Amino acid sequence: MRIAFRPEAQTEALQARDWYEARSPGLGLEFARAIEAAVARMARHPEGFAHAGIADCRRILLRKFPYSLVYRASGDDLLIVAVLHHRRDPLILASRN
């Protein structure tokens, strides 16, 4: 299975990791590991998570952090469209087709 991040999603992940690391050393690494764990769960069960309400996207919640990975599954490909904080407006995803 091929897994890719849209550039915007990659930026969101890195910014969130850096924010957590600045608050408490080691917390940024924990956030990155939560993303890795979510990606592994998505890869095992790409159709097993809730629809995100945008086109054909689904979302998976990160454990311990108020974020979701919003992704699109197509065959053997997973495209992570956003790393979305739960307080952000999900309508920002509409422009990320």
What is the gyration radius of the CA atoms in the chain, in angstroms? 13
- Domain assignment of residue 79, yes or no: yes
Mean pLDDT of all residues in 51-68: 91
Output DSSP code: residue 90.
G
- 24: number of Cβ within 10 Å: 9
97 pLDDT more than 70: no
pLDDT at residue 56 is higher than 90: no
Count of domains forming the chain: 1
Q: What is the mean pLDDT of residues 11-23?
A: 98
pLDDT (average), residues 31-59? 93
Work out the mean pLDDT of the chain and round it to a whole number.
Answer: 92
95, part of any domain: no
CATH classification at residue 80: 3.30.2310.20
User: Is it the case that residue 44 has pLDDT exceeding 70?
Assistant: yes
Examine residue 8 and state whether it is found in any structural domain, yes or no: yes
